[in-house]
Amino acid sequence: MKAGFWMAPEGADAAMTIAPIGVDELATPGRTGSGAVHGLARAGVEGLIERCERVGRLLPELADALARQKADAPGRLVDVTEYDADERELLSQALGSGEVSGVVALPDGVTAQISESTMAGLWRVRFSDADERVIGDYLEIAAIPEVVRRAAVANARDVAFGPPPENVMNVMPLLAEIRARVDAFEPGAESHIVNFSLFPMTPEDMAFLQHTLGDGPVGLLSRGYGKCRIHATATRHVWSVQYFNAMDEIILDTLEIGDVPVVAQAAVEDFRDSSERLLEIHEAYFK
């Protein structure tokens, strides 16, 4: 098992597969807006653009919505489920794949796979049923897709724990602090961070903490400045946030008590920049 609070079974990252959706090798995670433009510049895309006028009309609408979006405001959904294969392919080429992706486990075997486009704050959210059939495909303009927020608190539990096991050192006062922070949390408040690098924990401490907080339904991966893995625990408002170096070793292991960690969210300035880039793409390739 990997060191740190959140541990994939037997050290396997495959416990929660996180991958970009609807993109090819020209639109890989971590590309900037130029990556999306590069995808549109390849041979053969001109034919797609000619056949997919609806996509061309959609991009300025998305840019306008991005320009008006606020980080703390409800997002806007655009349903592209009924778009045909060519239209979905052109959308993928135009929007590319950005820094944040993730998976959300929902009831009845439904899974939501999310991928930020190269325009921060513009997301692709695809829902699949238990048989991996796509049942919904959406674009969403928001700081973070709403399904992430809702799943993280739906059926989440309060902090409750019994007598400590033997050989624990710091877990009981830490759990008491987490419980107090969870009870006091209000939407919009700044998250409280527990840094395990500064908070010595025995293996027994960590095992009891993991068991008490549990595994939640949300897993996110941010490839911004380095790699960051974010997992919701089964306890409301408690997240595992881990930062990794190039060798995939944990360099910062934390818990955050609060809203969805800001490292995964788009900021208000991102929406304005994304609007401008999307208009540039439309101007260059769709007119």
Low-confidence ranges of the chain (pLDDT < 50): 1-2, 9-20, 22-35
Residue 190 DSSP one-character state: P
Distance CA(173)–CA(159), nearest Å, equals: 13
DSSP state of 111: E
Q: What pLDDT is attached to residue 34?
A: 45
pLDDT digits (tens, 9 = 90+) for 192-240: 999 988 878 889 999 999 999 999 999 999 997 789 999 999 999 999 9
Query: What pLDDT, on the 0 to 100 scale, is given for residue 272?
Result: 96
Provide the pLDDT for residue 31. Answer: 39
154-180 tens-digit pLDDT: 989 999 988 888 888 899 999 999 999
Give the bridge partners for 266, in sequence order. none
pLDDT at residue number 53: 92
Q: Where are the beta strands (DSSP E) in 8-130?
A: 76-79, 100-105, 111-116, 122-128
Among the listed residues 282, 164, 223, 254, the one whose alpha carbon sits nearest the alpha carbon of residue 32: 223
What percent of the chain lies above the pLDDT cut of 70? 86
Whole-number pLDDT of residue 122: 98
Percent of the chain clearing pLDDT 90 (strictly above): 67
Q: What is residue 201's predicted lDDT score, i.e. its pLDDT?
A: 87
Per the listing, tokens 């959308």 go with 91
With residue 138 as reference, give the H or E element that holds it: strand 134-141
Closest among 2, 222, 176, 17 to 112, alpha carbons compared: 17
Residue type present at position 172: M
Tokens 């996180």 map to which residue? Answer: 18
